[in-house]
Amino acid sequence: MPPPPQHSTGGSTFDKIKMGAIMGSCVGLTIGFIFGSFSIMRAGPGPRGVVATLSQYMLSSAATFGFFMSVGSVIRTESEHKYILHPMANRAASEPWRMAWKRAEERRRAEASQ
C-alpha cells in the first residue's frame, strides 16, 4: 500500500479565484440581507418596493464581497513565500522529540550545577 501524500495539492489559480468569489458572494448576500432588512424596517422600502430594495442591497454586497475575496485569494495563491523558518525551527517541527530531549537535558544540567 503506498504511503499517503504529505500535503494536498490545491487546484489551479482560476479554481481558487472561483472559490473566493463564491465564498465572498455568499457572505455578501447574507450581509446584504441583514443590512437591507434593517434599512427597510427603519426607513421603509421606498418607491420601488420591498423586493427591489432588498435585492439591490443583497446584490451590491455580494458583488463587492465576491470581488474582494477573489482578489484576496489570488494574492494569497500567487505568493511564492513558503514561510521559511529558521533551520532549528524546521528541525523542531519535524522532530519534536529531539528538541524536548535537548531541553530536558539542559534542565538536568542546570539542576546538577546548582
Question: What is the rounded average pLDDT of the residues 70-75?
Answer: 88
Q: What's the domain count of the chain?
A: 2
Residue 64 domain flag:
yes
Q: Are 47 and 88 found together in one domain?
A: no
Residue 1 domain flag:
no
Residue 2 domain flag:
no
Domain encompassing residue 23:
11-81
Contact between 68 and 23 (Cβ < 8 Å): no
Cα separation, 78 vs 97, in Å, equals 34
Say what the pLDDT of residue 30 is: 97
pLDDT at 113 over 90: no
C-alpha cell at 87: 533551520
Q: Are 77 and 25 found together in one domain?
A: yes
Q: Are 75 and 94 found together in one domain?
A: no
Query: Whole-prediction pTM value?
Result: 0.60
Q: Are 71 and 96 found together in one domain?
A: no
Write the pLDDT tens digit of every residue in 6-40.
655 667 888 888 999 999 999 999 999 999 999 99
